[in-house]
Structure 1
Amino acid sequence: MVEYLGRIGNNQHKVLPTNGFNKKSYPLPRDIIARTLAHMKIEILPVLLDVLKTDNTLAIREVIAGIGFMCFYHKIHSNNQIIDALLLSLKKLKSYLSY
């Protein structure tokens, strides 16, 4: 399923909303594949983290939302492996954007 992250439909965020998020709970990933993956058992998390190592910016953007959802609802937000993977991905994406 990860091959289809950011590719199905036209429901992905393209820019930040001007009015903010009007939600009281954790914002759901809009991508249907990210949403489906985020609702799976926590054992899928290594597969999601592997997406962060790719060069597929669309998939990375969507999988970050899925990882965030899982971390929030499974209470694993302080896991250093997840934090390190996210930070490494951010650094890599920043270097792409600086060109």
Structure 2
Amino acid sequence: HPWIKVYVKEDKIGWIKLGQKGIITVDSYPGKTFEGAVTFISSEAEFTPKTVQTQEERVKLVFGVKVSVRNPDQELKPGMPADVRIQIK
């Protein structure tokens, strides 16, 4: 399965559990959602990725979370920007 790496703020990581459902949207398919699930949660914090534009955002600690995505029709391509909402139970 393809996957998306998302970054979760330190104060929110306690809510994330393996197996939780993720809803993925991409600009290429407006109005369409893809389903996924949390398959990995980093055990170590890291700094916000360098692609964030402001210094204020870069200094915040985040945890990497991998969301595996169902992509049966091969619509999602590597490198596509995506938004992921992890459903909290």
TM bin (shorter chain): under 0.3
Task: Flag the structure with higher strand content.
Answer: 2
TM-score using structure 2 length: 0.21
TM-score, normalised to structure 1's length? 0.20
Which structure dedicates a bigger proportion of its chain to helix? Answer: 1
Which structure would you say has the larger RCO, counting Cα contacts within 8 Å and 6 or more residues apart? 2
